[in-house]
Amino acid sequence: MAYHSALCDILVDEAQLEQFALVAKDSAFRHGLLMRTKEDPNSPEVLSYAPFTLFPSPIPKSIYEQAKLLQRDFNLLVEKITQDSKFLEQALASIIKVDHFIARLFEIYRKTLQKGISSPITIGLIRSDYMFLCGEEGVTSLKQIEFNTISVGGGGLASQVPAVHRSIIMFLVEDIQMNIYDQRLIENELWSRNIPVIRRRFEDISKRGHLDEEKRLFIDGQEVGLVYYRYGYLPQQYIEKDWEALLMMEQSRAVKCPNIGAHLAGIKKVQQELARPGVLEHFFPGDPEAVSRIRSVFAGLYSLDLGNEGDQALDMAFADPDQFVLKPQREGGGNNIYGDDICHVLSKVEQSLERTAFILMEKIRPQPVRNCILRRGTLLKIQPCINELGMFGVYVRHGTEMTLNEFAGHLLRTKNSEHNDGGLMAGVAALDSPYLV
Ligand code: ADP
Ligand code: MG
Ligand code: MG
């Protein structure tokens, strides 16, 4: 195997692993590596451990550094997209016809532009996710899975994983309420810097929120300076009134993280459009290095729009579905389609506009690494695992000036190599931390 050996192989004794798991659980508890349960997502009395790996996973240092360097490019790219209404309109034109949810988001974007954007400041918190391929002679290459622009999670909990790994081994490393501890860690950090945080739902905003004549946003008598969306990225998270609340927040002077343009920039259809020849050049005129840095991590991405190009992609998928992932325009894991199901789904929508609601992506097949996963505190046996490295990026634009554009840490998620899909919240992936090799 042209890959670095896994730590769990150093400790083959099962009794020893159980011992380590006990210590790791105590440490996970102390460090707040927790989640509420699916059964009682709103109860602070019923808690369990967030899924995490017993050992950190080996990640090639060169790959990590490349992904880190790229983050500023991706921050800039997302920010440029948010300001390019012509591009967004064109990129999303086909999706809007078939996807009611995205059409409504786009309508909010359009209305916000029409009225003139009220806040000169915009904040982006994005996460770009990668897997890595091991080629001939152990050369690894980084491939992007997707980038996320709204409700980017995991950063809170991920910050605690190294502490748990360190105390294991000396020499090394809604319902949204279920993931509340990820958010609480961020809230605590803000409070510790004397920044007051309030938590509100769409319903609270539509019932009790309003804008004053200067478009300042108020709720329960308090002015809101910044709206941080940890919700609202799926159609089932909206009832009719919530769309009015969203429009009100977007049209307010409050800074949005993300603003509606950045939310739209994170849609998978946009990722596919960016892979077309000439599109990155449009966003980075005069910076061919940035273009090639970004393009080097793109896997094959294909449009299924009606027409020749889409027909060709369709033929490729039917001919060898195992080489591809079929992706709808949804977030949160567990929505993608694999293998023979790709043929089933595509044969149903082949002749209609419906097929444009998907994109087709080359399937990335990373080299598995062995690790142990603890799920709800129960130690599972050593298994072949696949890593997905998420890189956080943060930017602030004030007027036309990018006043901040930084790499902001990582999230390493690890899952059994047999699982095709699924994130932390979908109960498949576990939190992990990298040890750079
Ligand atoms: P979501 O926005 O729902 O997280 P993703 O595009 O990240 O959607 O897909 C969910 C999961 O599916 C990923 O975490 C990864 O495990 C798997 N996946 C997605 N695209 C690919 C791909 N091209 N090759 C291999 N696995 C993939
Ligand atoms: Mg996503
Ligand atoms: Mg994802």
- Specify if 347 maps to a domain: no
Q: How many domains does the chain have?
A: 1
**For residue 231, what pLDDT is reported?**
85
Gap between the Cα atoms of 107 and 92, Å rounded? 12
Residue 158 lies in a domain: yes
ipTM of model: 0.96
Q: H or E element: which one contains 106?
A: helix 100-115
Which stretches of the chain score pLDDT less than 70?
1-12, 137-139, 166-167, 169-178, 194, 422
Residue 121 sits in which domain range?
7-299+364-436
Q: Is 322 inside any structural domain?
A: no
User: Which pLDDT score is estimated for 170?
Assistant: 34
Distances (CA, A) of 258 to 124, 231, 411, 424: 5, 11, 19, 22
Cα 205 to the center of its chain, rounded Å: 25
Domain-located, residue 150: yes
Q: How far is the CA of 130 from the centre of ligand 1 (A)?
A: 9
In the chain, DSSP finds a helix count (H) and a strand count (E) of: 15, 22
Q: Is 342 inside a domain boundary?
A: no
- CA 135 to chain CA centroid, Å, is 26
- Residue 333: its pLDDT value, please? 83
Question: Is 355 part of any domain?
Answer: no
Helix ranges (H only) for 252-403 are 260-265, 268-274, 279-283, 288-295, 308-319, 340-349
Ligand 1-lining residues (CB < 6 angstroms): 129, 145-146, 299, 325, 327, 331-333, 335-336, 361-364, 388, 421, 423
Cite the beta strand spans of 268-419 per DSSP E: 301-303, 324-328, 337-338, 358-362, 369-371, 373-375, 378-379, 383-398, 401-416
Ligand-binding annotation for 89, yes or no, is no
- Does residue 111 belong to any structural domain of this protein? yes
Please say whether the dihedral angle defined by the alpha carbons of residues 77, 81, 84 and 86, taken in this order, is positive or negative: positive
Q: Is 160 annotated as a binding residue?
A: no
Task: Tell me how far the alpha carbon of residue 128 lies from the centroid of ligand 3, in angstroms.
Answer: 9
Q: Would you state the pLDDT for residue 63?
A: 92
Instruction: For residue 330, say whether it is annotated as part of any ligand binding site.
Output: yes
User: Ligand 1: which residue has its CA nearest to atom 4?
Assistant: 333
Nearest atom in ligand 1 to 423's CA: 14
154 found inside a domain: yes
